[in-house]
Amino acid sequence: MLRYLTAGESHGEYLTGILEGFPAGVKVPRAYIAAQLGRRRRAPGRGARQALETDVFEITSGMDGETTTGAPVTVLLRNRGRAAPGFSAVPRPGHADLAGMLKYGTMNASLVRERASARETAARVALGSFALKLNELLGVTINSRVVGLGRLPSIDAASAAAELLRARRAGDTLGGVFEVTAEGLPAGLGDFTQHDRRLGARLAAAMLGVNGVKGFEIGGGFALAALGGMEAAGSPELSGGLDGGMTNGRRLTLRCAVKPVPGLPGGAPSADLRTGRKALAISRTSDTSAVFAAAVVAEHAAALTLAAALLEKFGGDSLAEIKPRVDEWRRKTGKLLKNL
């Protein structure tokens, strides 16, 4: 079973990630992990904190040089923006602050925001880069792209940059929509025989686990609801690569809606929970939009879920054991799929 955990606070000493159940014999160059972390960190829409963080990391277990050994992999990312959590009894609306304060019985919103912060996603990307590499070596190509920003239903680099600049100047933030796709997935990953084995459900959990994601769809998604069965049957790609909770050999397409960053640079009306007096919740959040970074995080989160599903289907403790099984399965199922 492939599983992973992260730990660490946004402005704490380290972010830590542990990946367990990952096969031996997978070469994951340090430069590859660094490149993935860079994609997340340098995504458009980011604020001043990203100029400070370099996401320098260390791998302290589970690798022989640049190749995995099968033992748990530990990644440590040292934060450059380190600081004691401080104290604030004023929750920022739209963030985890209020619910987290109630839940953990604290008057200090800083204790909540330190862990709820999307800084944690750096650790997820570091671990996800192992999964992305495994997918790649098994012939599965995973990609992500932002398809909508704020009110712009489609974007290119120039229009996105202009919209981000406009929002930043106006003291506003933006949401957006991103897409994650996977090509080359063998058919039959996931399972229809139990609700929690459905790959769509597992991918939904991974996507909705990405900070700020509020909407999720597979293939035709919400638009499918308006189609007749006859119409839908003519476009099998609307299934988004999944039927009955299993991959069907087609391209996997997932879409997610990301909310605008709720912390506004100008502050938001709130209250001091100790006194009950009205107060302005000042946000240190300096990102104009999280959607570009979230797309990269989601790509890695999807890679982890797909790697888990591949390992469940094909088993094996090393890449040398797994790869021939995947190739053989592709040959066998490919012949049948060709007839359709």
In degrees and rounded to multiples of 5, residue 7 shows phi and psi of: -145, 160
Stretch that binds ligand EPS, among 45-53, 132-140, 238-246, 264-272 (CB under 6 A): 45-53
Asked if 81 touches ligand EPS (CB under 6 A), the answer is yes
Asked if 92 touches ligand EPS (CB under 6 A), the answer is no
Asked if 262 touches ligand EPS (CB under 6 A), the answer is no
User: In whole angstroms, how close is the CB of 256 to ligand EPS at the nearest point?
Assistant: 17
Q: Identify residues 230-249 at the interface with ligand EPS (CB under 6 A).
A: none
Asked if 285 touches ligand EPS (CB under 6 A), the answer is yes
Kindly determine how many residues on this chain lie close enough to bind ligand EPS according to the rule CB under 6 A: 15
Q: Identify residues 286-305 at the interface with ligand EPS (CB under 6 A).
A: 286-287
Contact 217, 255 (CB under 8 A): yes
Contact 291, 258 (CB under 8 A): yes
> Residue 156 contacts by C-beta under 8 Å, 6 or more apart in sequence?
none
B/e letters for 42-53, b = 16+ CB within 10 Å, e = fewer, are: ebbbbbebbeeb
CB nearer ligand EPS, residue 53 or residue 272 = 53
Asked if 42 touches ligand EPS (CB under 6 A), the answer is no
Bridge-based pairing of strands 278-281 and 73-78 is unpaired
Closest residue to bound ligand EPS by CB: 49
Q: Which one of 39, 115, 119, 259 is in contact with ligand EPS (CB under 6 A)?
A: 119
Q: Which one of 36, 117, 247, 253 is in contact with ligand EPS (CB under 6 A)?
A: 117
In whole angstroms, what is the distance from residue 124 CA to residue 15 CA?
10
Query: Positive or negative, the Cα torsion across 31, 36, 37, 40?
Result: positive
Q: Identify residues 125-144 at the interface with ligand EPS (CB under 6 A).
A: none
Q: Which one of 21, 38, 44, 47 is in contact with ligand EPS (CB under 6 A)?
A: 47
CB nearer ligand EPS, residue 33 or residue 122 = 122
Q: What is the DSSP string of 245-294?
A: TEE-SS-EEEEEEEPPPS--TT-EEEE-TTT--EEEE------SBSHHHH
Asked if 181 touches ligand EPS (CB under 6 A), the answer is no
Q: Could you tell me which of 186, 235, 242 has the C-alpha nearest to residue 218?
A: 242
Asked if 266 touches ligand EPS (CB under 6 A), the answer is no
Cα-based angle 226, 299, 216 (whole degrees, multiple of 5): 25
Site residues, ligand EPS (CB under 6 A): 10, 47, 49-50, 53, 81, 117-119, 121-122, 284-287
